[in-house]
Amino acid sequence: MKKSISSVLWEALKTFLLAVIIALIIRTYFFQITEVYGQSMYPTLHNRDRLFTNRIVYTLSEPARGDIVILDAPDRAGSYYVKRTIALAGDHISIKDGVVYRNGEALEEQYINGNYTEGDIDTLVPPDTVFVMGDNRGNSHDSRSPDVSFIPVEDIKGKAIFRIWPLDGFGKIE
Protein backbone atom coordinates (compact mmCIF):
# COMPACT_ATOMS: atom_id res chain seq x y z
CA MET A 1 0.00 0.00 0.00
CA LYS A 2 1.44 3.34 -1.08
CA LYS A 3 1.52 6.35 1.19
CA SER A 4 0.39 9.68 -0.17
CA ILE A 5 2.87 12.49 -0.51
CA SER A 6 1.03 14.48 2.14
CA SER A 7 1.30 11.64 4.69
CA VAL A 8 5.03 11.23 3.97
CA LEU A 9 5.54 14.99 4.37
CA TRP A 10 3.50 14.97 7.60
CA GLU A 11 5.66 12.14 9.01
CA ALA A 12 8.84 14.00 8.05
CA LEU A 13 7.54 17.21 9.64
CA LYS A 14 6.64 15.39 12.87
CA THR A 15 10.11 13.80 13.01
CA PHE A 16 11.77 17.16 12.41
CA LEU A 17 9.67 18.91 15.08
CA LEU A 18 10.39 16.14 17.59
CA ALA A 19 14.14 16.49 16.91
CA VAL A 20 13.94 20.27 17.40
CA ILE A 21 12.02 19.89 20.66
CA ILE A 22 14.51 17.33 22.00
CA ALA A 23 17.45 19.56 20.99
CA LEU A 24 15.88 22.56 22.75
CA ILE A 25 15.27 20.57 25.93
CA ILE A 26 18.87 19.30 25.94
CA ARG A 27 20.25 22.80 25.33
CA THR A 28 18.00 24.44 27.92
CA TYR A 29 18.35 21.96 30.75
CA PHE A 30 21.44 19.80 30.22
CA PHE A 31 24.24 21.17 28.03
CA GLN A 32 25.10 24.26 26.05
CA ILE A 33 27.94 25.91 24.19
CA THR A 34 29.25 29.05 25.94
CA GLU A 35 31.42 31.64 24.24
CA VAL A 36 34.08 33.46 26.26
CA TYR A 37 34.08 37.25 25.88
CA GLY A 38 37.12 39.14 27.08
CA GLN A 39 40.40 38.23 28.75
CA SER A 40 39.35 37.79 32.40
CA MET A 41 40.17 34.05 32.37
CA TYR A 42 43.49 34.33 30.51
CA PRO A 43 45.72 32.25 30.34
CA THR A 44 43.26 29.38 30.95
CA LEU A 45 40.70 30.68 28.45
CA HIS A 46 40.93 33.20 25.64
CA ASN A 47 38.53 35.65 24.05
CA ARG A 48 36.15 33.82 21.66
CA ASP A 49 36.90 30.34 23.04
CA ARG A 50 33.85 28.09 22.91
CA LEU A 51 33.17 25.87 25.89
CA PHE A 52 31.01 22.81 26.39
CA THR A 53 29.00 23.63 29.51
CA ASN A 54 27.26 21.12 31.76
CA ARG A 55 24.05 22.83 32.93
CA ILE A 56 22.74 20.02 35.12
CA VAL A 57 25.81 19.32 37.28
CA TYR A 58 24.87 21.81 40.02
CA THR A 59 21.35 20.46 40.36
CA LEU A 60 22.98 17.18 41.40
CA SER A 61 25.91 18.55 43.42
CA GLU A 62 27.44 21.74 44.79
CA PRO A 63 30.18 23.75 43.07
CA ALA A 64 33.71 22.74 44.03
CA ARG A 65 36.74 24.93 44.63
CA GLY A 66 38.54 25.44 41.32
CA ASP A 67 35.48 24.83 39.10
CA ILE A 68 35.19 27.16 36.14
CA VAL A 69 31.57 28.27 36.21
CA ILE A 70 29.17 30.17 34.01
CA LEU A 71 27.05 32.57 36.05
CA ASP A 72 24.52 35.33 35.62
CA ALA A 73 26.37 38.65 35.73
CA PRO A 74 24.98 40.34 38.85
CA ASP A 75 25.83 43.80 37.54
CA ARG A 76 24.68 43.38 33.90
CA ALA A 77 21.23 41.92 33.33
CA GLY A 78 21.09 39.42 30.49
CA SER A 79 24.85 38.83 30.52
CA TYR A 80 26.97 36.09 32.00
CA TYR A 81 30.47 35.72 33.40
CA VAL A 82 32.94 32.85 33.17
CA LYS A 83 34.94 32.68 36.42
CA ARG A 84 36.78 30.28 38.71
CA THR A 85 35.26 29.28 42.07
CA ILE A 86 37.82 30.25 44.72
CA ALA A 87 35.87 29.77 47.96
CA LEU A 88 32.64 28.12 49.09
CA ALA A 89 30.07 28.97 51.74
CA GLY A 90 31.69 29.02 55.17
CA ASP A 91 35.22 29.55 53.83
CA HIS A 92 37.28 32.44 55.18
CA ILE A 93 38.79 34.31 52.23
CA SER A 94 41.41 37.02 52.46
CA ILE A 95 43.77 38.82 50.10
CA LYS A 96 46.86 40.40 51.62
CA ASP A 97 49.96 41.70 49.88
CA GLY A 98 48.84 40.19 46.59
CA VAL A 99 48.31 36.67 47.96
CA VAL A 100 44.94 34.91 48.23
CA TYR A 101 44.32 32.95 51.44
CA ARG A 102 41.50 30.48 51.98
CA ASN A 103 40.92 29.36 55.55
CA GLY A 104 44.32 30.76 56.52
CA GLU A 105 46.32 28.93 53.81
CA ALA A 106 47.88 30.67 50.83
CA LEU A 107 46.50 29.31 47.58
CA GLU A 108 48.89 27.86 45.04
CA GLU A 109 47.38 29.21 41.84
CA GLN A 110 49.45 28.06 38.87
CA TYR A 111 46.58 29.00 36.55
CA ILE A 112 46.64 32.78 37.16
CA ASN A 113 48.18 35.37 34.87
CA GLY A 114 51.00 36.84 36.94
CA ASN A 115 51.56 36.26 40.61
CA TYR A 116 49.82 39.20 42.25
CA THR A 117 46.14 39.53 43.16
CA GLU A 118 44.85 43.02 43.89
CA GLY A 119 42.47 43.56 46.74
CA ASP A 120 42.29 43.91 50.47
CA ILE A 121 39.65 41.39 51.47
CA ASP A 122 39.07 39.60 54.75
CA THR A 123 35.64 37.98 54.91
CA LEU A 124 33.59 34.85 55.40
CA VAL A 125 31.65 33.49 52.41
CA PRO A 126 27.93 33.54 53.34
CA PRO A 127 25.68 30.46 53.13
CA ASP A 128 24.47 29.42 49.66
CA THR A 129 27.07 31.58 47.89
CA VAL A 130 30.54 31.26 46.36
CA PHE A 131 33.47 33.64 45.84
CA VAL A 132 34.71 33.74 42.23
CA MET A 133 37.64 35.37 40.45
CA GLY A 134 39.03 35.42 36.95
CA ASP A 135 42.44 33.90 36.28
CA ASN A 136 43.63 37.20 34.80
CA ARG A 137 43.38 39.00 38.14
CA GLY A 138 44.41 42.41 36.77
CA ASN A 139 41.63 42.30 34.17
CA SER A 140 38.71 40.59 35.91
CA HIS A 141 35.47 41.99 37.26
CA ASP A 142 34.68 39.44 39.97
CA SER A 143 33.77 38.86 43.63
CA ARG A 144 36.38 41.40 44.72
CA SER A 145 34.11 44.13 43.32
CA PRO A 146 31.20 45.29 45.51
CA ASP A 147 28.77 45.20 42.56
CA VAL A 148 29.58 41.52 41.93
CA SER A 149 30.44 40.30 45.46
CA PHE A 150 29.36 36.81 46.53
CA ILE A 151 27.53 34.76 43.90
CA PRO A 152 24.37 32.91 44.94
CA VAL A 153 24.75 29.25 43.97
CA GLU A 154 21.37 29.48 42.21
CA ASP A 155 22.88 32.06 39.80
CA ILE A 156 25.49 29.58 38.58
CA LYS A 157 24.20 28.24 35.27
CA GLY A 158 26.75 25.53 34.63
CA LYS A 159 30.27 24.19 34.77
CA ALA A 160 32.68 24.57 31.86
CA ILE A 161 33.84 21.05 31.03
CA PHE A 162 36.04 21.39 27.97
CA ARG A 163 37.00 23.76 25.16
CA ILE A 164 35.64 22.86 21.75
CA TRP A 165 36.97 25.89 19.82
CA PRO A 166 39.53 26.70 18.63
CA LEU A 167 40.43 23.19 17.60
CA ASP A 168 44.08 23.57 18.58
CA GLY A 169 42.91 24.15 22.16
CA PHE A 170 40.30 21.36 22.16
CA GLY A 171 40.22 19.47 25.41
CA LYS A 172 39.41 19.38 29.10
CA ILE A 173 39.62 22.64 31.04
CA GLU A 174 41.53 22.64 34.33
State yes or no: is 145 an active-site residue.
no
State yes or no: is 83 an active-site residue.
yes
Neighbour order of strands in the sheet with 92-96: 105-106, 99-102, 92-96, 121-124
Q: Is the bond preceding 43 in cis, omega lying within 30 degrees of 0? A: yes
The CB density around residue 77, as the number of other CB atoms within 10 Å, is 7
Pick the catalytic residue from 3, 4, 83, 145.
83
Pick the catalytic residue from 40, 94, 140, 143.
40
Active site residues: 40, 83
